[in-house]
Amino acid sequence: MIHNDSYRHKGLRNKLVQTLRQKGISNEDVLTAIGRVPRHLFIESGFVNFAYQDKAFPIAAGQTISQPYTVAYQTELLELKPGDKVLEIGTGSGYQAVVLIEMGVDLYSIERQNELFNKTNRLLKNLGYNAHLFLGDGYKGLPAFAPFDKIIITAGAPFIPKDLLLQLGHGGRLIIPLGEREQIMTKIVRINEDDFEQISLGSCAFVPMLEGIVK
C-alpha cells in the first residue's frame, strides 16, 4: 500500500508544528513527533485541507480525531521516557497512538467500537507501526499487561476508573480528562502502593468515555 505524503503535506505539517509552539507546546520531542506523523492519513481522504488545521475532526462511528493541540498537550503531560510502557484508552483514528509510538514508547491501546478497532488496526499495520491494539472496555484496562508506566485517556471520563489506577506502576502517571459534558484535564501520579497525587489543569472537551463494547 502506497501512502501519499507529499512536500505539500510536509509543509502544512511544519506550519501546524509552529502553531502548536505558539500555543505553548515546548517539548521538542513532542513537536518532532507531530511533525513526523502524516495526520491526513488518519481522516477520510478528500478532507486533506482539514488535516493540518488545529481542530478536532469527525471520524467513523460518530467519534472524533482529537485536536492536534490536545494530542500534543496530553503527550507532553505524560513526561515520556523512551521504552515506557503506555496504555491509551480510546484508540479512535490511531493518530494519538502513532504520536506516542514516535516518542519511542511501547504502546497498548483499547477501543470499544469494533468498526474503529478494525479500521485502525489495518491502517497502523499498513503504515508499519507496531502497536498492541485491543477491542475492549477501557474502564477495565488491561490487567494481564499491567503495570503501565503511563496511562492516557482520550475520552471524557465521568470519574476516575479504579482499575486503571491499580494498573499504574509506582511513580506512574495517568492523564485523564475528568468530567461529563466538559472536562478538566487531570494528572494523577501514583506515589506508592496506596498514595496518589491529583492535579487539576485546564478545561477541555472530549467525546464521552462509555462502558462496554460495540460490535
173, 197 contact by CB (below 8 A): no
- Work out how close the CB of 95 gets to ligand SAH at its nearest, in angstroms, rounded to a whole number: 4
Active site residue 66: yes
What is the total count of residues that contact ligand SAH (CB under 6 A)?
Answer: 24
Applying CB under 6 A, does 41 fall inside the site for ligand SAH? no
Report if residue 70 touches ligand SAH, rule: CB under 6 A: no
Say how far apart CA 215 and CA 181 lie, in whole Å: 25
Helix (H) / strand (E) element for 123: namely: helix 114-127
102 binds ligand SAH (CB under 6 A): no
Q: Which of 93, 167, 183, 186 binds ligand SAH (CB under 6 A)?
A: 93
Q: Which of 112, 150, 173, 190 binds ligand SAH (CB under 6 A)?
A: 112
Can residue 178 be called a binding residue for ligand SAH (CB under 6 A)?
no
Instruction: Give the 3-state secondary structure of residue 11.
Output: helix
Of 20, 65, 107, 174, the residue at the interface with ligand SAH (CB under 6 A) is: 65
Long-range contacts of 185-194, Cβ-Cβ distance < 8 Å, separation of 24 or more = 185/73, 185/74, 185/77, 186/160, 187/77, 188/160, 190/165
- Residue number, 130 or 192, with CB nearest to ligand SAH: 130
Q: Which of 6, 26, 45, 66 is catalytic?
A: 66
* DSSP, residue by residue, 33-74: HHHHS-GGGGS-TT-HHHHTSSS-EE-GGG-EEPPHHHHHHH
Check binding of 95 to ligand SAH (CB under 6 A): yes
105 interacts with ligand SAH by CB under 6 A: no
Which residues of this chain interact with ligand SAH, rule CB under 6 A? 63-66, 89-90, 92-93, 95-96, 110-113, 116, 137-139, 154-155, 207, 209-211
Q: Which residues belong to the active site? A: 66
